[in-house]
């Protein structure tokens, strides 16, 4: 028995409230109202497609695919159902699936200009993928090993920061240089490609020598800071350093992945962090996030930004360097820090993580994927992750993992939180996120954690976003995310 007229009227009112919340970028509220509308009128394809779009905005692309699929089941000719599923799959880097759905949508709406634009963009990406697959060779040397630094002459007209040394004898990275570079970046100036590549190659050497799980010892008197996602928000990174001091041998840091994408100063962020890694290799630690990957960089802006500020060769070196970022860190044998979360199976040990061959693009499943993509859930057990990648894991999973590996705490990042951090799973799991007002629109605070070696109890500092130049988030991202409209 279907909904009566009263339910249908109420559902439309809820949809209108949801649409209004969506337009105000209050996606959490929109999600609640669309869900209420679906409960009253569960056969409306429009409600499912609109909720799918809301899931995309909340980065829950797995849930978006499920809702869009349900919309298509309810109305196989409903264009927005295919459209939303394609958007979600594109965001996940599943370009061939996205292309298939955009082609189906185009059959029903052949003159829709936005749809035609997205179809053409996706077709270009798929053709590029096929070309790359066709020419791929295991024998191909990494770009970092073929780059001739001596060929990157520093022109006399270059007025930016310079490393000590010379082109003939080589350059060295000093604290004076790094501080001048940060000020140069603050003024929206580009570092010379010669010095950028020097940072990349030097940092690559340090990262390549590390295991997939890095153990970090602390003396009782030492402190240690963990930051979460910074996502190209360079001016907020400067604020972290203002609040907590620059990285140094006496002020060590771990940045827990997702340095790049979305924010439009990702080049400045990653070069700064890599430069500090070169200065203090034992005291500055960098973990891989799910956005330190080829597909994410193609979609969410980093590749476009690097090619705008430098060129494709520099992007190739970044891509290779990301594959050497460690996947996990254990601080003082008590706290494990990973970007995403835990695993789809029980019994995973620290040695299992150490054995992961990380020098690759992240796979779609398995331990490496789950470390980068998984999320905690409040209920026990495991569930499919709302992102469509990794797994959702409950408090019992966290407790079992910590007990097996004789650890006290899991720290992870990967999710924006209103206060910049959240303590879950009966205190066993902490999320820290360091990009305030994420994407210039979420209104959240940022946070970082400070531990003392003597007790390893997390101490949280929260902070608000600071102003930045008028370059919007996602300025270099794929054009796919520029003009989608609700199927109202």
Active site residues: 291
- 3-state helix/strand/coil string of 380-420: CCEEECCCCCCEEECHHHHHHHHHHCCCCEEEECCCCCCCC
Give first-to-last CA distance, the chain, whole Å: 25
Query: Alpha-carbon distance 48 to 69, whole Å?
Result: 9
Cβ-contact 160, 189 below 8 angstroms:
yes
Q: Is 393 exposed, middle or buried (0-12, 13-18, 19+ CB in 10 A)?
A: buried
Q: Which two tokens stand for residue 441?
A: 């629109």
Nearest to 370 by CA among 414, 431, 319: 414
Query: Alpha-carbon distance 437 to 451, whole Å?
Result: 25
Q: How far is CA 488 from CA 40, 86, 98, 149, 221, in A?
A: 17, 18, 22, 55, 59
Cβ-contact 216, 456 below 8 angstroms:
no
Residue 455 has φ and ψ, to the nearest 5°, of: -125, -20
Residue 337 has φ and ψ, to the nearest 5°, of: -120, 120
> In 402-427, which positions are buried (b, 16+ CB within 10 angstroms) versus exposed (e)?
beebebebbbbbbbbbeebbeebbee
What is residue 433's three-state secondary structure?
strand
Residue with the two structure tokens 């990174």 = 237
Cβ-contact 289, 229 below 8 angstroms:
yes
Residue with the two structure tokens 């360097």 = 321
DSSP 362: -
Radius of gyration of the chain (CA): 23
Query: Alpha-carbon distance 414 to 434, whole Å?
Result: 10
Nearest to 229 by CA among 311, 296, 321: 296
Q: Which two tokens stand for residue 129?
A: 């993928």
Query: Alpha-carbon distance 402 to 174, whole Å?
Result: 40
DSSP 248: B
């Amino acid at each position: 028995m279907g909904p009566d007229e009263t339910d249908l009227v109420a559902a439309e009112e809820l949809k209108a409230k949801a649409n209004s919340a969506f337009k105000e970028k209050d996606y959490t509220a929109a999600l609640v109202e669309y869900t209420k509308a679906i409960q009253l009128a569960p056969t409306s394809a429009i409600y499912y497609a609109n909720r799918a779009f809301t899931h995309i905005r909340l980065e829950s692309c797995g849930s978006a695919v499920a809702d869009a699929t349900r919309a298509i089941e309810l109305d196989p000719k409903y264009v927005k159902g295919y459209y939303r599923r394609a958007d979600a799959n594109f965001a996940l880097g599943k370009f061939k699936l996205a292309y298939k759905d955009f082609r189906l949508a185009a059959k029903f709406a052949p003159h829709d200009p936005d749809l035609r634009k997205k179809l053409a963009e996706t077709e270009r990406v798929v053709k590029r993928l096929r070309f790359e697959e066709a020419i791929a060779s295991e024998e191909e040397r990494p770009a970092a090993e073929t780059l001739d630094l001596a060929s990157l002459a520093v022109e006399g007209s270059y007025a930016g920061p310079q490393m000590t040394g010379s082109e003939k004898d080589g350059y060295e990275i000093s604290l004076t240089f790094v501080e001048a570079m940060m000020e140069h970046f603050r003024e929206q100036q580009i570092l010379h490609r010669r010095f950028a590549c020097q940072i990349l190659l030097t940092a690559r050497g340090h990262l390549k020598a590390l295991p997939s799980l890095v153990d970090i010892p602390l003396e009782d008197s030492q402190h240690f800071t963990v930051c979460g996602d910074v996502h190209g928000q360079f001016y907020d990174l400067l604020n972290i350093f203002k609040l907590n001091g620059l990285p140094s041998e006496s002020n060590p840091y771990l940045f827990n992945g997702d340095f790049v994408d979305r924010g439009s100063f990702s080049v400045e962020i990653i070069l700064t962090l890599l430069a500090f890694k070169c200065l203090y290799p034992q005291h500055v630690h960098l973990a891989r996030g799910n956005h330190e990957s080829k597909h994410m960089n193609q979609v969410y802006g980093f590749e476009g930004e690097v090619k705008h500020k430098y060129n494709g060769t520099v992007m190739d070196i970044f891509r290779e360097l990301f594959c050497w970022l460690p996947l996990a860190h254990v601080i003082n044998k008590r706290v494990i820090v990973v970007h995403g979360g835990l695993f789809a199976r029980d019994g995973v040990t620290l040695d299992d993580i150490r054995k992961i061959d990380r020098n690759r693009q992240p796979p779609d499943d398995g331990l490496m994927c789950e470390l980068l993509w998984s999320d905690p859930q409040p209920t026990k057990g495991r569930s499919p992750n709302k992102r469509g990648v990794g797994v959702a894991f409950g408090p019992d999973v966290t407790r079992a993992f910590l007990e097996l590996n004789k650890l006290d705490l899991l720290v992870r990042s990967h999710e924006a939180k209103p206060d910049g951090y959240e303590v879950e799973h009966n205190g066993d799991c902490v999320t820290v996120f360091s990009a305030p007002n994420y994407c210039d629109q979420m209104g959240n605070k940022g946070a970082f954690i400070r531990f003392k070696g003597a007790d390893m109890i997390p101490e949280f500092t929260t902070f608000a976003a600071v102003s930045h130049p008028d370059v919007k988030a996602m300025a270099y991202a794929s054009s796919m995310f520029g003009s989608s409209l609700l199927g109202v």
